Structure 1
């Protein structure tokens, strides 16, 4: 039987490890967001074209795969910045299009909404005693719906479908933030690179989805 001293020491080590993962995750997330914003700014300033759907898919899933594959070594950090830089590059032309159309205020609103949503979801996950792992099954079902919806959107250019997809992406991304954050706190997520990527993609999807909704509501 473990002694009380050993139990307390184990609990302390677990708490230290959890705090380390949480600290490293938020530090890396901050750096990747700044890096992504910088790349987006350069992309927008240079008026670079947004890549087509093939390049988007290959770049996104290819770099995502390489990041996860190397998450336990130093190359994981390299691919993390390549991945977030790539998404920053793809975002630049989109923001530039809104600014060129005199809708820069929508970009600011989307950024504010994204920040508030992330902070609210993170705060809830950090303080709630409810087990949020139950969201996993719902997220899987929602993921299937999103994949089908995205395929349908290729053939049907409908504002209503786009609005529905963007709304579902917001729900899905919020769930991912909740589960990932609580996973770190409860020791279920021990790799800060994986946690950072999940949170970054969730924030990215929140921003793009909010921007899309605001654009549709603005009849553009």
Structure 2
């Protein structure tokens, strides 16, 4: 989706400035989508349709990321649909356990910020994490499918912990990878999508973890 090139520290700072701006608007659109879905009482069936539509938009963005204007439209449409697809889940926690939802938001924000700063400033090389993280992600998907048929609080707790670890690793990986990317809008949009998905999944697994520990899991 994006093209890594050595752009130097100055370009990295400029690229990350673009990404931070795009991320801010992306989460605003996602929040609007969630708010709209909660307000109209969006059901789980409709949320699945929104999630599938979001995947279609993401694929379209991958092909049209070099097209100015269209790429931004597709980015924000994707994030809106992602927020919309989460409306039933967020609505449940909002009315049943708002404190857990708030804790998950705060923990995700602090974790993402801390990991981002560390990846930005450290001299450690996280480039080799990519293959391990991808393999871990595949195992996580398989574990999620197993959870559909095998309900175990211990297994769910382990999956949630592994999910938090994997997407924390992805945060380190993407932020550091940005140091070697050219300062272009397509690269900024591609990186924004990657970080947005990473933060979103990190939030969901933290929410699941807190729910399990409180005995109030509803993610699956």
Instruction: Give yes or no for TM over 0.5.
Output: yes
Q: Secondary structure at the match of 1:36?
A: helix
Please report how far the alpha carbon of residue 63 of structure 1 lies from its aligned counterpart in structure 2 after TM superposition: 2.3
Report the Cα offset of residue 174 of structure 1: 1.1
Give the greater-gyration-radius structure (CA).
1
Aligned residues: 208
TM-score, length of structure 1 as denominator length: 0.86
CA contact (8 A) 1:139 1:172 kept: yes
Task: Please report how far the alpha carbon of residue 59 of structure 1 lies from its aligned counterpart in structure 2 after TM superposition.
Answer: 2.9
- Residue 52 of structure 1 deviates from its aligned partner by 6.5
Select the residue among 64, 72, 83 that pairs with 1:88: 83
Give me the whole-angstrom Cα distance separating, in 2, the residues matched to 1:81 and 1:126: 26
| Worse-superposed segment, 78-87 or 117-126 | 78-87
Q: Is the 8 A contact 1:51 1:90 kept in 2?
A: no
What secondary structure sits across from 1:132 in the alignment?
A: coil
SS in 1 for 2:128: helix
Structure 1, 45-54 or 30-39: larger mean CA deviation: 45-54
Shift in CA distance, 43/56, structure 1 to aligned 2, threshold 3 Å: closer
Other-structure match for 2:104: 110
1:202 is matched with which residue?
198
- CA displacement at 1:60 relative to structure 2: 4.1
Using the size of structure 2 for normalisation, the TM-score is: 0.86
**1:95-128 CA distances to partner (integer Å, 9 max, x unpaired)?**
1111222x10000000000001100110001100
User: RMSD of the alignment, in Å?
Assistant: 2.2
**2-structure distance, mates of 1:54, 1:42:** 15
Structure 1 stretches lacking a partner, 5+ long = 1-10
Deviations 1:18-62 (A, max 9, x none): 333211111100110111112211211222113378636633432
Show structure 2 runs of 5+ residues with no match.
Answer: 1-5
Residue of structure 2 equivalent to 1:141: 135
Maintained 8 Å contact 1:121/1:174? yes
Give the 4+ runs in structure 1 shifted more than 6 A. none
Take 2:135 and 2:17, find their aligned partners in 1: how far apart are those partners? 31
